[in-house]
Amino acid sequence: MRIVAMIMAGGEGTRLSVLSEKRAKPSVPFAGKFRIIDFTLSNCVNSGIFDVAVLTQYRPHSLNEHIGIGKPWDLDRSRGGLRLLQPYQGRNDESWYRGTSDAIYQNLNFIRERRADLVLILSGDHIYKMDYNDIVATHLRNRCDLTVGVMEVPLDETDRFGIMTTDATDRIIEFTEKPKARDKGQLASMGIYVFNADALIQRLSEGCDDKPRIDFGKNVIPAMVAEDRVYAHRFSGYWVDVGTIQSYWETSMQLLDPQLNFDLFDNEWRIRTRSEERPPAKIGPQAKVNQSIICNGCIIRGTVEHSVLSPGVYVSPGAVVRDSVVMNDTWIGPGAVLDRVIIDKDVVIGAGARVGCGDDFNVPNRLEPDKIMTGVSVVGKAAHIPPGIGVGRNVVINADRDTEDFPGGNVASGETI
């Protein structure tokens, strides 16, 4: 049984605001030392799947550099191993990927060359641990053409997912992509699919103007539900789509809960990543650290409470970091205060600056009211926050902003610089 995994990693991730401005969503740092895609890649190798393709498109440079030839995941192999598949212009149908299934369609030759029996299609932007052998077993037991990984989600979130209805045997009888009404149930697609390779090739090759095959959720799965054997595989473990600022921040804070059913320290299911060689974390004599993740290369001389610090973060004396996510090589000046914020890489927080201040949690961001609205402020990569200023709630500081971009000093809640 030959299984090929294809990871969709070309998404722009617009709901992550400035965090995905210069990188694809799967390349966004998460849980301190990891990238989001590390969880899907690690699931593959931990499941014994070593023939993996990563499909990229939007700003792939950071992702390509991170993955390389796949060595951290034991995917640097002469047989099988890891392949990066990017769109290209050709004489026939080759062009930019128009959707998820179109991306697979343009790479059907990869599946044919591998002589795959099953194709495991995965999303590169979800946080979870899953043994893919379980869903493959469900697929084979039910003699499916397609098996969809599913789980129950809260009713108020069903418009973010493909929602399905099943019969008593878990055969899918209806599939609705991101329904606006709340009447389709709570069984949501996880973006995990197992296809018989022949069925996948046939269905994608049938695409035409009258019968589009551009997107799995909108086109392919609904059509296959009517024509083929399509079953659900139920998953009950921890799984999160960190595709919004709020879900990214909430999930990062959940990692600090000792009761969370998601163990990053599980040696039986190790999450692998490409790591830099850095010295150990250093905690100064006046430092206070409580319920936080502190990565290698950090120097803490101030206070860190309930926060996640990526490698190389420097917290000066008197500085306070609270309920925040701070990414690589950020410098936090003396007396500065970060409260409920997400800070991208290489940011400088001037001495005495207050980022995430005030009680205006319900004032949405003026330019992105549907993305930044829960009190979390976001600072883009390599921005410099001037000393002594106050930055309110739901504020967006774009990448590469410098001190002269703050002519008025303080930044009111809901503003964008």
Angle at 230 between CA 226 and CA 232, to 5 degrees: 130
Torsion of CA 398, 403, 409, 410, to 10 degrees: 40
Give residue 13's pLDDT: 76
Average pLDDT rounded to a whole number, residues 64-92: 87
Q: Which residue has the higher pLDDT, 180 or 376?
A: 376
Residue whose C-alpha is closest to residue 312's, from 352, 266, 348: 348
Question: 81-85 and 51-55 as β-strands: parallel, antiparallel, unpaired?
Answer: parallel
Q: pLDDT tens digits for 313-361?
A: 999 999 999 999 999 999 999 999 999 999 999 999 999 999 999 999 9
Q: pLDDT tens digits for 56-73?
A: 988 889 999 999 999 999
Residues 6 or more apart in contact with residue 213 via CB below 8 angstroms? 101, 102, 105, 203, 204, 206, 207, 219, 220, 223
Q: pLDDT tens digits for 250-287?
A: 999 999 999 998 999 999 999 999 998 999 999 999 99
